[in-house]
Amino acid sequence: MTSTPEPLSRNTLLASFSSEALRSLAPSLELVRLERGETLHEMYGTVLHAHFPLDALISAFVDTTSGASAEVALIGGEGALGVMATLSGVRGNFRAVVDTGGTAYRVKLQPLRRALADDAQAHGTFMRYLTRRTVQIAVNAVCNAHHSVQQRFCRALLTRLDRCPAGGMLHLTQTLIAEVLGARRTGVTKIAGELRREGAIDYARGKLVVVNRELLQRYACTCGDQIAAQSALVATDV
Ligand SMILES: [Zn+2]
C-alpha cells in the first residue's frame, strides 16, 4: 500500500457514490501501486478484490485452450476491474494484467456489494459501465476478425496515448504489443520497423515514443471512435 492519499474522484465509478455510501466504503478502500506486468487474476480465477484505477491501465485478456490470447478490453480511470465478479460471482471472466503501472484503489467484494446495495444511483452507474465494457468487447471482437494487424497496432497505441499522461512515451515492448493483438511477434516487429521508418514512432530508453500522431491515425482503424461514440450513447440512454 502506498502512503500518499489520492482523491477518490480520479476514478469515475468511485466518484459516482453518494457521500454517505463513500463514507461507509472508505475504511475498506486500500490505495495500492500496480506494477506493469503484474497479473491481478487469471482467467476463471478467484477475484478477491475490485480494483479502481486512478492512473494505471489494466488489460483484460481472453486465453484459448490452445494457449493463444488477445486483449479484449482496457480498463482505466473510467472503470474498474472486478465489477462483474462483484455483481454476479467471484470468478474472473478473463486474465487481468497491469498494462501501465500506476495507482488504484482496491476493495474486497463484500463491502463493495453492500455499498452498491445502499446506493441506487451508483448501482446504475456501475451497470451502465458494464454495458460500455460489453460494447468495447463486442467492437474489439469484430476488429480482431476484420482489421489488419497494422490497423490494430496503430489503434492500440492511440488508445494508450489518449490515456497516458507521459507525453507520448509508452511502456510497450513489441512482445507485449504482439500479446495484446494476438499476433505473431515477427509480424509486429515488421510493422514497428515500417512505422519507425515513416516517422510515426520511435524508441528511446526502452520506451515506445509516438512521434507523429496524425500518421498513426491515418493507419489505424476507426474502432476506437466507434467505441467512444457507442459509449457516449450508453451514458445518455437512461
Ligand atoms: Zn478495428
Q: Ligand 1 centroid vs 76 CA: distance in angstroms?
A: 20
User: Across the chain, what does the average pLDDT equal?
Assistant: 91
User: Is the model's pLDDT at 222 over the cut of 50?
Assistant: yes
Q: Which pLDDT tens digit goes with each residue over 106-151?
A: 999 999 999 999 999 999 999 999 999 999 999 999 999 999 999 9
Q: Ligand 1 centroid vs 66 CA: distance in angstroms?
A: 24
Q: Which pLDDT tens digit goes with each residue over 71-101?
A: 999 999 999 999 999 998 888 889 999 999 9
Residues with CB under 5 A from ligand 1 (ion): 143, 147, 221, 223
User: Is the model's pLDDT at 198 over the cut of 60?
Assistant: yes
Q: How far apart are CA 187 and CA 180, in angstroms?
A: 13
C-alpha pair distances (Å), 24 with each of 14, 180, 186, 224: 13, 38, 51, 37
Q: Ligand 1 centroid vs 1 CA: distance in angstroms?
A: 37
pLDDT value for 2? 43
User: Is the model's pLDDT at 1 over the cut of 70?
Assistant: no
Q: Which pLDDT tens digit goes with each residue over 144-185?
A: 999 999 999 999 999 998 887 666 788 888 889 999 999 999
- State the virtual CA torsion across 82, 52, 48, 68 in degrees, nearest 10: 50
User: Is the model's pLDDT at 214 over the cut of 70?
Assistant: yes
Q: Ligand 1 centroid vs 81 CA: distance in angstroms?
A: 23
Q: Which residues contact 105 (CB under 8 A, 6 or more apart)?
A: 6, 8, 11, 14, 29, 30, 31, 32, 51, 52, 54
Q: How confident is the model at residue 3 (pLDDT cuts 50, 70, 90)?
A: very low
The pTM assigned to this predicted structure is: 0.90
Q: How confident is the model at residue 33 (pLDDT cuts 50, 70, 90)?
A: very high
Q: Ligand 1 centroid vs 188 CA: distance in angstroms?
A: 16
Q: Ligand 1 centroid vs 79 CA: distance in angstroms?
A: 22
Does residue 31 sit in helix, strand or coil?
A: strand
